[in-house]
Amino acid sequence: MKRMRIQSLTVITNALNIAVERADAPGITLIMIGGLLRPASCSFVGPQAEAMMNEVHADRLFLAVDGFDLENGPSTPDAIEA
């Protein structure tokens, strides 16, 4: 199977595991959202993360959530992560 080579891509993430996985990937610029580390999800959350997210804009979004309802939308049991 032929692998597609990424020419240029900027990844914005609050997930530490994603940042580590992509840290040395060729053609990828990595922007890490900071804040309080939530070890259960390996992600940075809280007011600092929210403030940083208000400053970045993206063409595509890949969102992982704990639940999704057609009427209520995405959900998570952790209030600070929400």
Condensed to tens digits (0 to 9), the pLDDT of residues 22-76 reads 999 999 999 999 999 999 889 999 999 999 999 999 999 888 888 989 999 988 8
Q: What amino acid occupies position 57?
A: H
To the question of pTM greater than 0.95 for the whole model, the response is no
* Secondary structure class of 29 (helix, strand, coil): strand
Q: What is the pLDDT of residue 1?
A: 65
**pLDDT of res. 15:** 94
Check residue 15 and report its DSSP letter: B
Long-range CB contact pairs, 3-11, < 8 A, 24+: none
